[in-house]
Structure 1
Amino acid sequence: MGKAGEDDERSFFSEAPIRPAAKARASQDKPHYLGHRDRLRQRFAASGSDALPDYELLELLLFRLIPRADTKPVAKALLARFSTLAEVLGAPVARLEEVRGIGPAVALDLKIVAATAQRAARSEIKGREVLSSWTQVLGYCRSVMAFEEREQFRILFLDKKNALIADEVQQVGTVDHTPVYPREVVKRALELSATAIILAHNHPSGDPTPSRADIEMTKLVIETAKPLGIAVHDHIIIGKKGHASMKGLLLI
């Protein structure tokens, strides 16, 4: 046995065998949520995510982030606050920390999960013919923009085969306005040797309806890009509950 002060928790628990009475007490003291965690993992392994409601799927994620607590109340509190799983992952760190049971480390871990999901969504359209993968494009734009608290103006740059070259946020604005500079849009397209672009921005208000300013700005970008052989395929506006396509609305 080591000297006083030299033993850590590993040597402490390995010093002596647990007697039957001690085993019984340990069983009684075992946190109730451990059995629940095992059962939930087994359900997921047997039937996949479709067998679980959103709060239980979120619980599974929180098991790893909060290893020594019952995560069911935390998962339900997150969904009560943000309504959907997508909004939980899209919420800013500061707002996540307002939920009881979510500290800075867990909030950051949730954002890492969200960033991983966004990267995976982008990989689905990277290098592919974007116009034939429109559902994936919309899904990606929604995942990265729908729940931002400020407007951001994003550009998808395409090559002559309409494959995605790059995806960049050009400007971040306020809650209801983002400054857009058509010459900068076109300049960046030329730098990347893009022959077409898709514009996208979000409306933090949730309503994706294009404003008059949105329409006028889009037309100005089109007029600036056209003489240089750069096509503007669409301008997508993303809201929390849906999206609007200017091309689909016959606004461009």
Structure 2
Amino acid sequence: MSARPPPDAPSLLGEGASPAAAEPHYLGHRDRLRARFAQGGADALPDYELLELALFRAIPRRDVKPLAKALIRRFGSFAEVVSAEPSRLAEIEGIGAGVIADLKLIEAAGHRLARGAISARPLLSSWSAVLEYCRATMAFAAREQFRVLFLDKRNHLIADEVQGRGTVDHTPVYPREVARRALELSATAIILAHNHPSGDPTPSAADIRMTREIVGVLDPLGIIVHDHVILGREGHASFKGLKLI
């Protein structure tokens, strides 16, 4: 039988330590965070903690709170982090291909969920869902994009297409291309949408001019422009609401 150490022999784990105390501190934090999310949902967590949950799978053995906070400092919010371009995400130390893939998957899932809310219903009777879809897909993008929602005679969605991507403050749009695509799809109406990366959704003079050009091309074809919505981090602007069309 081996000799037992005397009661006052020093522990290899340190004075007062136990095997459980030697575990990484973040393991208990992860369990508590998951429990809070399970009980209260996303509303129970600030953006950086929700982002921590998103990082757990890609980074299983590391405290990700500093990284989550660094991402929020750089981009501003959870939505802006998952919407950020991969090249900008990669600029953050500790962000690799696995993390970027997970974040872009979350973004894509959000877009699919928002699209599902509008795909089976007349769009004009579910306008809040249309705005939420446009906000999810465009509001936090770093560059301008111009999107067209093509509708049938019952105002159901036929197709949702990005007609152009541009710089931080300009997207080239060609009214005749919009008309050509509407005719190809047998659309009887469209909704226009684009984003302002500056965050301010106020229509510019160029936005107003371009919208009126599209209306002018489509009107003789019997295709209605229901609205043009501009999305920004600070909200949205409706051309119809502003009586610009």
The answer, yes or no, to whether TM exceeds 0.5 is yes
Give distance in 2, aligned partners of 1:101 and 1:158.
44
Give distance in 1, aligned partners of 2:35 and 2:216.
58
Does residue 219 of the first structure (1) align with residue 217 of the second (2)? no
Aligned residues: 231
- Name 1:100's counterpart in structure 2: 93
Residue identity matched to 2:192 = L
Does residue 38 of the first structure (1) align with residue 31 of the second (2)? yes
Pick aligned residue for 1:89 from 67, 79, 82: 82
Give distance in 1, aligned partners of 2:45 and 2:171.
39
Provide structure 2 residue ranges, at least 5 long, that are not aligned to the other structure. 1-11
Question: Shift in Å at residue 92 of structure 1?
Answer: 1.0
Give distance in 1, aligned partners of 2:170 and 2:36.
46
Q: CA RMSD in A?
A: 1.7
The answer (yes or no) to whether the contact 1:127–1:165 under 8 Å persists in 2 is no
Residue identity matched to 1:115 = A
Which residues of 2 match residues 60-79 of structure 1 at below 5 A?
A: 60-79=53-72
Q: Which string of whole-angstrom CA distances, capped at 9 and with x for unpartnered residues, describes residues 74-102 of structure 1?
A: 11111122221111111111221222321
Give distance in 1, aligned partners of 2:101 and 2:41.
26
Residue identity matched to 1:94 = S
- Name 1:241's counterpart in structure 2: 234
Distance verdict in 2 for CA 1:82–1:163, change over 3 Å: same
Question: Shift in Å at residue 248 of structure 1?
Answer: 0.7
- Name 2:46's counterpart in structure 1: 53
Provide structure 1 residue ranges, at least 5 long, that are not aligned to the other structure. 1-20
SS of 1:160's partner is coil
- Name 1:184's counterpart in structure 2: 177
- Name 1:114's counterpart in structure 2: 107
Q: Which string of whole-angstrom CA distances, capped at 9 and with x for unpartnered residues, describes residues 186-232 of structure 1?
A: 11111111100001111122221111111111111111111111000
Question: Shift in Å at residue 29 of structure 1?
Answer: 3.2
The answer (yes or no) to whether the contact 2:54–2:102 under 8 Å persists in 1 is no
Which residues of 2 match residues 98-177 of structure 1 at below 5 A?
A: 98-177=91-170
Give distance in 1, aligned partners of 2:186 and 2:112.
23
- Name 2:3's counterpart in structure 1: none
- Name 2:5's counterpart in structure 1: none
Residue identity matched to 2:61 = R
Percentage of matched positions with identical amino acids: 66
Q: Which string of whole-angstrom CA distances, capped at 9 and with x for unpartnered residues, describes residues 49-90 of structure 1?
A: 222222222211111121110111111111122221111111
Q: Which string of whole-angstrom CA distances, capped at 9 and with x for unpartnered residues, describes residues 128-158 of structure 1?
A: 1111111111111111111222211110001
- Name 1:14's counterpart in structure 2: none
The answer (yes or no) to whether the contact 2:48–2:65 under 8 Å persists in 1 is yes
Question: Shift in Å at residue 116 of structure 1?
Answer: 1.1
SS of 1:135's partner is helix
